[in-house]
Amino acid sequence: MRKGAISRDGVFKALTEYDELGQDGFLSKYGYKPATGYFLLHEERTYDSKAIAGVAHKFDQGRALKPDELSGGRSHAARWLARLGFTIRSSRSPDWTRDEIILACDLAMANGWKRLEFDDPRVIELSALLQAMPIHPEELRNELFRNPNGVARKTVDITCRHPDYRGKPTNGNVLDVEVMNDFLARPTEMAKVALRIRQGLVAGEFQELSPEAEEEDDFSAPEGRLLLGRHRSRERNKALRKRKIDAVVGEGRQLACESCGFDFEQIYGDRGRGYIECHHVVPLHEAGEGRTRLSDLALICANCHRMIHRRAPWPTPGELRASIEQKHADDRRAAAVLARPRRAADEQMPNL
C-alpha cells in the first residue's frame, strides 16, 4: 500500500461496515482470516487491523485490497493505521528482523552455540539493546517486547538448528537458520557485523534513518537493515557526491559509470550533465564512523547501482564490469554458434 492510500475517513467507513456485518461476515466477505497479531482498538471494541486497512482502501481507492496485497513487516497494515492516529494493540511481538537475529546469533556463537538462560547478564543486556533498536515502531510493541525471556527463547530457536545439535528442534523460522548459516560460513565477518550494529546503536547513529530508506525492499541486506540504511544515507549525501564529481571532473576524467561506461550527458544531453550516482565500496561492517574518503566512492550509473545491491554478496564495480564483459562475450559466441547451424538446417529443411 502506498503512502496516503487510506484515510481516517476510509477507516471509519470500514469500521462501520465491520459493525454491521459482524466479524465473521466482514472477514469472509473480503477473504480475510481472523487476526492473530494486531488489533485496532476503537470505542472499546477490537477490530482485525489488516482487514480494516484492506477494506478502508475500498472506500478511499475504489477497491478493497486482498490479504496478500498488504505486506507484512515494517509497512504492514497496523503501522498504517497507527500513523493515521488509531490505537493498535499487538497480541504478540513483531517477528525478529535480520538485524536482531544477527545480534542473537552473535551471542549464541560466543556461547559455543549453546542456549542462554533468561537471567544471564548477556541476555539481559541484549534485551535492553533490542528494545532500544529503532526497527520496530513503538506503537506495534507490547509489554513483552524482546524481554529477557523472549531473547533466551530465541537463543534456543537458533542453537537447536545448529548442525551439532542432537535433539528435536523448536519451530524456529527460516531467517534464524539463514543468519546462523551466514555465521557458520563467515564467523569473523559476521561477528564484525554484529559489533558494528552494536556500536551504531550505542552511538545512536541509526536513529536518523528515515522509514522510506528502510523500505527499499529490493536491496539485499545480508548485514541487516541498519547498516544498509547507514550505507545508503552516505551514498545519497549530496555534498559528498558533489565533491566526488568535482574531483573527477577536475582531473579531466569523463563522468561515466565505472562498471558499464554509461554517460548520462551523452544519452540525455543537458538534462544528464553532471549526473551520476555514488556507490560506497567499503563493506558495511568495515566502514566505521570515520569520514568517508572520496576513494571509498565509485561513480556508478543508476542501473548498475541497483544491480550491485540486488543480491548479496555485492560485487565491486570492477567485478560487475567483468561480468558485463563476460555476458557480452558469451552472447557473441552464442550468436556465432546460432548463425552457423541455422544455415545448414535451412538447406536441409523442405519448404513447409
**What residues line the site for Zn ion (CB under 5 A)?**
235, 257, 259-260, 262, 279, 301, 304
285-298 burial code (b ≥16 CB/10 A, e <16): bebeeeebeeebbb
State in angstroms the smallest separation of the CB of 217 from Zn ion: 16
Handedness of CA 325, 329, 335, 339 (dihedral sign): positive
Q: Whole-number minimum distance, CB 135 to Zn ion, in Å? A: 21
Q: Shortest approach of Zn ion to residue 221 CB, angstroms?
A: 12
Q: Which is nearer to Zn ion, 99 or 235 (CB)?
A: 235
Closest alpha carbon to 23 in 48, 58, 60, 42: 48
Residue 204 or residue 274: which is nearer to Zn ion going by CB? 274
Q: How far is the CB of 194 from Zn ion (least distance, A)?
A: 22
| CB of 230 vs Zn ion, minimal distance in Å | 12
CB of 182 vs Zn ion, minimal distance in Å: 20
Q: Which is nearer to Zn ion, 118 or 262 (CB)?
A: 262
User: Got the DSSP string for 292-345?
Assistant: PPGGGEEEE-HHHHHHHHHSSSPPPHHHHHHHHHHHHHHHHHHHHHHHHHHHHH
For residue 4, give the DSSP letter: T
Cell of 349: 529443411
Q: Which residues contact 132 (CB under 8 A, 6 or more apart)?
A: 201
Sheet holding 87-90, edge to edge: 45-48, 38-42, 87-90
Amino acid at position 88, single letter: I
Nearer to Zn ion, 54 or 229 (CB): 229
Of the pair 175, 260, the CB lying nearest Zn ion is at: 260
Q: Which is nearer to Zn ion, 197 or 307 (CB)?
A: 307
Q: Which is nearer to Zn ion, 92 or 253 (CB)?
A: 253
Q: Please state, in angstroms and rounded to a whole number, the distance separating the CA atoms of residues 283 and 168.
A: 37
Shortest distance in whole angstroms from residue 282 CB to Zn ion: 11
Considering the complex, state which of residue 157 and residue 235 has its C-beta at the smaller distance from Zn ion: 235
**Distance between CA atoms of 194 and 105, rounded to whole angstroms?**
9
- Cell numbers for 29, please give them: 466477505
Least distance to Zn ion from the beta carbon of 99, Å? 18
The Cα–Cα gap between 140 and 214 comes to: 17
Of the candidates 213, 223, 214, the one whose C-alpha atom is nearest the C-alpha of residue 287 is: 223
- Cβ-based nearer residue to Zn ion, 183 or 314: 314
Give the SS3 label for residue 346. helix
Measured CA to CA, the distance from residue 261 to residue 99 in angstroms comes to 35
Q: How far apart are CB 227 and Zn ion at their closest, in Å? A: 12
Distance from C-alpha of 329 to C-alpha of 38, rounded to nearest angstrom:
53
